[in-house]
A and B are shown apart, each in its own frame.
Chain A
Amino acid sequence: MTAMVKSEGVHKSFGPVEVLKGIDLEVKQGEVFCLIGPSGSGKSTFLRCINHLEKINAGRLYVDGQLVGYRQKGDKLYELKDSEVALQRRDIGMVFQRFNLFPHMTALENVMEAPIQVKGTSKSQARERAGELLERVGLADKAKNYPSQLSGGQQQRVAIARALAMDPKLMLFDEPTSALDPELVGDVLDVMRDLAESGMTMVVVTHEMGFAREVGDSLVFMDGGVVVESGNPRDVLTNPQHERTQAFLSKVL
């Protein structure tokens, strides 16, 4: 299988603080790839580097064989123009911890917006597709509601539908259930499980160890800006080799 995401020695600093200290990993096509680790370990930052919301300082990051955010000619790197970055992002869906739905649009309009504005899809076609997607996440009856009229779990499911509307080849999830009431987490995880079964490549930053064990194909434990341990989720979670992984898991499990 080909690599959907390939990271080679990725470094990222915010001012003097080095958040990522050389990340090497590979996400295969069709894989559910889970990133776990304590807060401040750099897992969210790494996820945001994948769609160039953060610029990396060193290393190389490829999505589907394409260098993210830069063009390489010989051994010289050229920054991509904003429009070219936007073109790369079209194929990468992202779901945020705080949903970030557009509050001035209904659920349906949220899902319709990007296909119309970015792909030039016709309004009627976008509406039809948005209806299908909302149905898929179990919210067909909430199409006309504004985000403020929806629960957190419902908002997050609309956010997933919004990302899917662009037909991405890769989905990034940044702690999608961390801002939710415990009883609403299940609904969102159900949608994600459903999506994984349909063969979507997913990179998931999560604290839901149950989800990682059940749905994940690979798992990486990060701490202090480096990958500490990686492997099959069931192996890593039940039988962690590194002592930092053991310490972390003993606190969260």
Chain B
Amino acid sequence: MTDKFEKEPADATPPVSKEASSASATSVAPEAIKAVPVRHWGRYVSAVVVLALVGLLVNAFATADKIQWSAVGDYVFDKTVLQGAGRTLLISVLAMVMGVVLGVILAVMRLSKNPVTSWVAWVYIWFFRGTPVYVQLLLWFNLALIFPMLNLGPIYKDEMVDVMTPFMAALLGLGLNEAAYMAEICRAGLLAVDEGQTEASHALGMSHAKTLRRIVIPQAMRVIVPPTGNEFINMLKTSSLVYAVTYNELLRATSTIGSTSYAVMEMLFVACIWYLVMTSVFSVFQFYLERRFARGSSRNLPPTPWQKIRVNMMAFSRERGSTA
């Protein structure tokens, strides 16, 4: 069927194009344009100014004799610092998992036709998005003041101070807060999928649950993944607030060393280094994750850095081969 359309132009075009090319070759001799380019003086000036300012800043840090750079080097791989970084990663990942799972549930609740569930989800989001995380962390941490006993009837009963450890307070504070944000991200993602997709799936006899799982959610992921990555990077940094509930994460670990060794600023630099390492590594991971969920939506996926290198290497070797 398609052959018919492909053959006709293939037969018809060659004579036309030959005439056209021979005609243009004789009448216009193309010459490469050699013109004096416009000089952008403003760009040179601004570059010099910016470089000078950066130089001054670097110089200020490098020559400040009050900074003990050796302390930074000594403590970057210190055991307590590494443990702190590990705990930051742990609490961030766990809080994020909690946020994503709860967020998906809340998003589905909000979109459900049942007015009670959708209203409850709305109130949850209203409260946890409307109050600061810091306050929420303190609320969890001090819960024992109003509920000395945690009594879940026959299932579980214990002193609240034993349950609400710094770790639990940190996890609940960060995770429940994150769920409110994730719920809104997931809801936007689910709403972004064209209704025709649901109709097509239903018309094929697929159930609501299968339509959601196989058709809607995979497409919603493309919208959900980038802001979720953003949220995780935010979480890595926001987790420093759990300092307040005495959970011994990166910031607390470095600050403790800082106050005892009189290297307060140096230890904050160490903390910055580890936060930057974690957020940078995750950004790379996010690139590959987004690429995976872009399948089908763009005709050509962006090349990975490794693919770019390979393409460049191949072009380079071909060039060398042709000149040699």
Contacts and interface: CB of A to CB of B under 8 A. Distances in A.
A94 B203 contact: yes
A53 interface: yes
B298 interface: yes
A93 B202 CA distance: 10
B207 A86 contact: yes
Given A53-B199, A96-B199, A117-B214, A103 B296 contact: yes
A100 interface: yes
The interface residues of chain B, by DSSP majority, are classed as helix
Contact of A162 (B197, B204, B222, B296): B204
A104 B295 contact: yes
Interface stretch (A27-35, A145-153, A197-205, A212-220): A145-153
Contact of B5 (A83, A105, A183): A183
Nearest to B199: A53
B34 interface: no
Given A117-B214, A147-B296, A148-B297, A89 B204 contact: yes
Interface string A29-59: 0000000000000000000000101000000
A163 interface: yes
A148 B299 contact: yes
Interface string B191-204: 00010110111111
A113 interface: yes
Contacts of B194: 100
Contact of A86 (B199, B202, B214, B218): B202
A100 B206 contact: no
A117 B196 contact: no
B220 to A, nearest CB: 10
Contacts of B296: 103-106, 146-148
A104 B297 contact: yes
Interface string B203-219: 11111101000110011
A245 to B, nearest CB: 30
B196 A90 contact: no
A126 interface: no
A232 to B, nearest CB: 29
Chain A interface size band reads 35 or more
B205 A102 contact: no
Given A104-B297, A146-B296, A183-B5, A166 B200 contact: no
Contacts of A90: 204-205
B215 A102 contact: yes
B267 to A, nearest CB: 47
A235 interface: no
B197 A114 contact: no
B206 A114 contact: yes
A102 B197 contact: yes
Contacts of A87: 205
Contact of A163 (B204, B215, B222, B298): B204
Interface in A208-228: none
Interface in A138-181: 138, 146-149, 159, 162-163, 166
A118 B204 contact: yes
B307 interface: no
B1 interface: yes
A149 B222 CA distance: 18
B208 A149 contact: no
B2 interface: yes
Contact of A96 (B200, B214, B219, B298): B200
A50 to B, nearest CB: 10
Interface of B: 1-2, 5, 194, 196-197, 199-208, 210, 214-215, 218-219, 222, 295-299
Given A98-B196, A148-B297, 4 more contacts: A89-B204, A94-B200, A102-B197, A117-B210
28 contacts: A51-B203, A53-B199, A86-B202, A90-B204, A92-B203, A94-B200, A94-B203, A96-B196, A96-B199, A100-B194, A100-B196, A100-B200, A101-B200, A102-B215, A103-B296, A104-B218, A113-B214, A114-B205, A117-B214, A118-B204, A118-B206, A148-B297, A162-B204, A166-B204, A166-B205, A186-B1, A187-B1, A187-B2
Which 4 residue pairs spanning A and B have beta carbons closest together? A90-B205, A100-B200, A114-B204, A94-B203
